[in-house]
Amino acid sequence: MGDAEIIPIGTRGRPGRGTGKQPSSAARGLAPTKKSAPKKPAASKSADDTSVAKKPRQGAVDEPIAAEDQQETPPAAHEEISAPGADRGPADADEQDTSSEETPAPPAAPAAASDGPRASSLSTRERNPLRSIPTSAWLSAFQQAAMEVFGDAWEPRLAEFLAFLRRRITGDYVVDEYGFDAEVTQRFFMAALRPIAQQWFRIEVRGAENIPIEGGALVVSNHSGTVPVDGLMTMVSIHDHTGRHLRALGADLVFQLPVISSLARKGGATLACNEDAERMLRGGELVGVWPEGFKGIGKPFSQRYKLQRFGRGGFVSAALRTGVPIVPLAVVGAEEIYPLVGNIPALARLIGVPYIPVTPLFPLLGPLGLIPLPSKWLLEFGEPIRTDEYDDGAADDPMLVFDVTDQVRETIQQTLYSLLMQRSSVFG
């Protein structure tokens, strides 16, 4: 044993480690160190990296130090390996290591995961928490929803709506001989058309006092717009200003379409014939007619606001026979919603319609081209033309019928010119 080679501590069995000019790393960790001069920030490592890389072992103070490891470290070597904070004692080093090695506690597992075996034993109330909501909470939520839909006066409105549903389900409602449903028209059709009239077209109504409050009357208007939107807007405007429903006289094509025919009937429209018109006028209804027909709505944009021929004056004959006043109506703004710049007559004859419109947006943009342009509308009702002053046989006099028809046409045309001069812009 006396001849055995002494291997210094920290060499790991490899001779030559720690016996030369520079001690081993283990010896440097056990040996006491001197305070070193602070290094330049650019050449030094961070304190956290050094403390983690060079942690002293626990209990290093109590271990004996070999004689070979007690050799004084050259200043140069000590300056190279010393780190900021090396002058701290072992206690400080232990405290630093302990704080650096602390890890946060793992988050608590969800209750659902820990309750795996218990999930099968949950009661019905625990599996369905909505069943535990008190009835007062449900009633409060229902009240808030009703206020959002019906407003502050939600109770009477809700009662009216429930009564409407009950009448519809039980069949306790009235429809006249033409299919007009006043309740559906007022609650749904007018409610749907009113925002368009007020917000999109911004309709301004003038001369609404010329419309009779009661009794029969015939409203005669110009027709334009490629699509008969002006008829719908006229119905909404008259109802909002007088409270009366306008019974429109439509062409044959309107009542040949599957869905539109049913909606037109429920909205109060009927076929444009003298028999129906006279029956309505004698019944005290407010009847609307557009004598231009398809010639008016299908005219090109270059002929806008130029009235077409009013036909043979059938509406005048009906007014003369019933003795009701004729109220002329001029509508400005409908010509610009679908500017008609072309037509496809061959395709129109193929599908059986008067014309296939071509506008700057349709069919170029597809369905987007069907959105009407937001033009500014002006509606002016003229002074009523009395017909009760004529004799009983006046309706059979063609010249008299022609004179009254021409009078109505000229009144509407002059009103159109006057409104066009008053309008500042198409969309203003």
Cis previous bond, 363, omega within 30: yes
pLDDT for residue 270: 94
Helical axes 314-322 vs 274-282, angle rounded to 10°: 30
Q: Residue 55's pLDDT band (boundaries 50, 70, 90)?
A: very low
Is the pTM value of this prediction over 0.75? no
pLDDT for residue 149: 74
pLDDT for residue 4: 52
For the purposes of burial, counting CB atoms within 10 Å of the CB of 249, is it exposed (0-12), middle (13-18) or buried (19 or more)?
Answer: buried
Q: Is residue 305 part of a domain?
A: yes
Q: Is residue 324 part of a domain?
A: yes
Q: Is residue 266 part of a domain?
A: yes
| DSSP string over 82-115 | --TTTTS-HHHHHHHHHHHH--PPPPPPPHHHHT
Where is pLDDT greater, at 384 or 94? 384
**Per-residue pLDDT tens over the stretch 256-280:** 888 999 999 999 999 999 999 999 9
**Per-residue pLDDT tens over the stretch 211-261:** 999 999 999 999 999 999 999 999 999 999 999 999 999 999 999 888 999
Element (H, E) at 411: helix 398-422
Rounded mean pLDDT, 78-100? 45
Q: According to DSSP H, which parts of 178-273 are helical?
A: 182-184, 190-195, 229-242, 258-266
Rg (C-alpha) for the chain, rounded Å, is 48
Whether residue 268 contacts residue 185, with contact meaning beta carbons closer than 8 Å, is answered with yes
Q: Residue 199's pLDDT band (boundaries 50, 70, 90)?
A: very high
Q: Residue 126's pLDDT band (boundaries 50, 70, 90)?
A: low
Q: Residue 114's pLDDT band (boundaries 50, 70, 90)?
A: very low
Q: Is residue 342 part of a domain?
A: no
Q: Residue 338's pLDDT band (boundaries 50, 70, 90)?
A: very high
Q: Residue 30's pLDDT band (boundaries 50, 70, 90)?
A: low
Percent of the chain with pLDDT over 70: 69
Amino acid at 260: I
Q: Is residue 269 part of a domain?
A: yes
Rounded mean pLDDT, 402-425? 94
Mean pLDDT over the full length of the chain: 78
- CATH number where 279 lies: 3.40.1130.10
Report the C-alpha gap between 75 and 34 in whole angstroms.
10
Rounded mean pLDDT, 59-77? 44
Whether residue 9 contacts residue 27, with contact meaning beta carbons closer than 8 Å, is answered with yes
Question: CA geometry: angle at 77 spanning 75 and 82, to 5°?
Answer: 90
**Per-residue pLDDT tens over the stretch 363-410:** 888 889 999 999 999 999 999 999 999 988 899 999 999 999 999 999
Q: According to DSSP H, which parts of 292-364 are helical?
A: 294-297, 314-322, 345-351
Where is pLDDT greater, at 4 or 331? 331
Rounded mean pLDDT, 64-84? 44
CA distances from 62 to 30, 51, 90 (A): 10, 21, 11
Domain tally, the chain: 1
Q: Is residue 311 part of a domain?
A: yes
Q: Is residue 212 part of a domain?
A: yes
Domain span at residue 280?
182-337+372-422
Q: Is residue 47 part of a domain?
A: no
pLDDT for residue 300: 92
pLDDT for residue 141: 83
Q: Residue 17: is its pLDDT beyond 70? A: no
